[in-house]
Amino acid sequence: MTTTEMPAVSECTVTACSYNDHEGCHAFAITVSGSNGAADCGTFIPLSAKGGLPMIVSQVGACTRADCMHNQHLECTADAVRVGPGDADHAANCLTYTAR
């Protein structure tokens, strides 16, 4: 898989993340991680300072949720992913996660 084949983060509605700007992710790539049924965005950073690149379409760089139907060899094969607020301790979740 090359960087041009990596799935894009098509939407991120987690406005508390430093990489979020106008419901878009500006990190070069995110990592999807998590446990206990949650597919967390491991790149979520809740700082007041904004980060990331101004003109970027973020991508999924890695996914440790091997139990997701889109995961092959710890890489995401979805066409695109959406990230949104999670429940309780999970501030940012991959909404595209689908258990096998």
**Predicted confidence (pLDDT) per residue in 77-91, tens digit:** 999 999 999 888 889
Confidence of residue 3 (pLDDT cuts 50, 70, 90): low
> Is residue 1 pLDDT above 70, yes or no?
no
Q: Which domain holds residue 69?
A: 1-100
- Give tens-digit pLDDT for 13-68: 999 999 999 989 999 999 999 887 789 999 999 988 899 998 888 999 999 999 99
Give me the number of domains the chain comprises: 1
- Contact present, 7 and 78 (Cβ < 8 Å): yes
Check if the beta carbon of residue 51 is closer than 8 Å to that of residue 27: yes
pLDDT at 35: 80
